[in-house]
Amino acid sequence: MVDRPNKPTALATTPGLPPQPQVNFSPDNARVSASLPTGESVEVLLYGATVISWKDRAGGEKLWLSDAAKLDGSKAVRGGIPLVFPVFGTAPDHAATSKLPQHGFARNSRWEFLGKSTSESSPSAGPSDASVKLDFGLSSATLDPQAKTLWPYGFNLIYSVTLTQEGLGTSIVITNDGTEAFEAQVLLHTYLRIKDITKIEVTGLENSEYLDKVDAAQAKTQSGAVTITGETDRVYTPAAGPSEPVVVRESGGGEEIFSVVRDSLKDVVVWNPWTDKAAGIGDFEPKDGYKNMICIEAGSVRGWQKLEPGEAFEGGQTISY
């Protein structure tokens, strides 16, 4: 049954228990938000199941969202965490996905809220162990008919967004519940908010092979930390493997700002549009906003994940700070 609370969940005030996580729907049912008793919060738009806000306990926003982002379901959201499925970019040579728009249909589809699960504060541990998980679903049964004609496979997606005091987890289970095999790519297109792009570096990608999309998709090898000094659009397959964190940190091996640990997602896209590209993206505002964001996108986008009928693939990321 779809759990759609319009008011804070009841346990928030149960006598004898410390305050509990809360889950709320916006009055128009377009978004769901959750918060922990310690103050951390997350907000997800049902359109695209796009995480549009993630705040720490002091109310500090961790994600970059364009001032011109459309949040009314007319366009994929510019910022937050749009979900890319079943194709990364466009794939003119891959017949099954060649008709789909850039980055597929998941970020342009209205998802269903499937429910929440909370790990509640205990009287002994206080609020420190509280967490909340929100689940969203999209399937061939609920997909818009037009998208269905472009990609006519039987599928089921369950996307989970988990808020803890340590960070944010987003994970997806892709199931082939049709009668024909399909091939898909998936990517968590995360726009991380930073103070100054010229004062950060990304570690964890040393010695990794990458495709440089701003240099004719040439294959290159990363030497040292990644610094951003111009338009950057790279698809890394980290040599260290998914469980080794990719870290955004202060330049020169300084303090960690974000750490991204992946689960079964072998690739990482690093994207920053810099000046000219940002100027040409209509919904990218302010135009110098590229200084305050870096996309670290965990995914499986080089090659294809093939799923036979009945098979499932699960992948995700945990971002901590």
Ligand X SMILES: O=P(O)(O)OC[C@H]1O[C@@H](O)[C@H](O)[C@@H](O)[C@@H]1O
Binding residues for substrate: 78, 102, 107
If the CB atoms of residues 204 and 273 are measured against ligand X, the closer one turns out to be: 273
If the CB atoms of residues 81 and 158 are measured against ligand X, the closer one turns out to be: 81
302 binds ligand X (CB under 6 A): no
- Of the candidates 276, 215, 201, the one whose C-alpha atom is nearest the C-alpha of residue 246 is 201
Asked whether the beta carbons of 123 and 18 are under 8 A apart, the reply is: yes
Q: Which of 40, 43, 120, 297 binds ligand X (CB under 6 A)?
A: 297
Number of chain residues interacting with ligand X (CB under 6 A): 9
213 binds ligand X (CB under 6 A): yes
62 binds ligand X (CB under 6 A): no
103 binds ligand X (CB under 6 A): yes
- Min separation Cβ 301 and ligand X, Å: 8
What is the x/- site pattern for ligand X, positions 224-243, by CB under 6 A? ---------x----------
- Min separation Cβ 271 and ligand X, Å: 4
189 binds ligand X (CB under 6 A): yes
If the CB atoms of residues 70 and 199 are measured against ligand X, the closer one turns out to be: 70
If the CB atoms of residues 100 and 247 are measured against ligand X, the closer one turns out to be: 100
- Min separation Cβ 76 and ligand X, Å: 6
If the CB atoms of residues 174 and 269 are measured against ligand X, the closer one turns out to be: 269
- Min separation Cβ 102 and ligand X, Å: 4
C-alpha span between 36 and 26 (Å, rounded): 17
- Min separation Cβ 297 and ligand X, Å: 5
Interface residues for ligand X in 257-276 (CB under 6 A)? 269, 271
Active site residues: 189, 297
3-class secondary structure for the chain? CCCCCCCCCHHHHCCCCCCCCEEEECCCCCEEEEECCCCCEEEEECECCEEEEEECCCCCECECECCCCCCCCCCCCCECECEEECCCCCCCCCCCCCCCCCCECHHHCECEEEEEEEECCECCCEHHHCEEEEEEEEECCCCCHHHHHHCCCCEEEEEEEEECCCEEEEEEEEEECCCCCEEEEEEECCEEECCCHHHEEEECCCCCEEEECCCCCEEEECCCCECCCCCEEEEEECCCCCCCCEEEEECCCCCEEEEEEEECCCEEEEEECHHHHHHHCCCCCCHHHHHHEEEEEEEEEEEEEEECCCCEEEEEEEEEC
Residues that bind ligand X (CB under 6 A): 89, 102-103, 189, 213, 233, 269, 271, 297
